[in-house]
Amino acid sequence: LSSKEIHQLRRLGRSKAVVDFVSLSFMYVFVLEAIKVMSGPLSEITWGVPRNLEEVKKMMLVLLDSLSLSELAETWAPFALIAGLLTVATSDLILHPKLVQ
């Protein structure tokens, strides 16, 4: 490889690393916001290995109830999720073809 090609590869690698960091940051914000919404209902679950089907049903119902989309929509979570997904899609559209060459 020539020095010019090595320089281009390093630049692409740095760009890819920055984009990956940004997308992970958005996903981290999404998880934090989702945990804030679900922390109340999740504290009602006694965590452990379910012993029978009724305990499994109770745990699943509480988990499903905690995923209230209306409460989640009032936070920054949807925006963080969309921004993270758009960052990944942009990386795939712009950087991936250059890396394949």
Question: Over the stretch 38-76, which tens digit does the pLDDT of each residue have?
Answer: 776 556 555 666 678 887 787 777 766 766 667 777 888
Q: Is the pLDDT of residue 80 over 90?
A: yes
Mean pLDDT confidence for 14-28: 94
Q: Is the pLDDT of residue 8 over 70?
A: yes
Nearest to 95 by CA among 10, 19, 3: 19
Give Rg (Cα) of the chain.
Answer: 21
Report pTM.
0.67
Q: What's the burial of 75, exposed, middle or buried (CB within 10 Å: 0-12/13-18/19+)?
A: middle
What pLDDT is recorded for position 44?
A: 58
What pLDDT is recorded for position 21?
A: 96
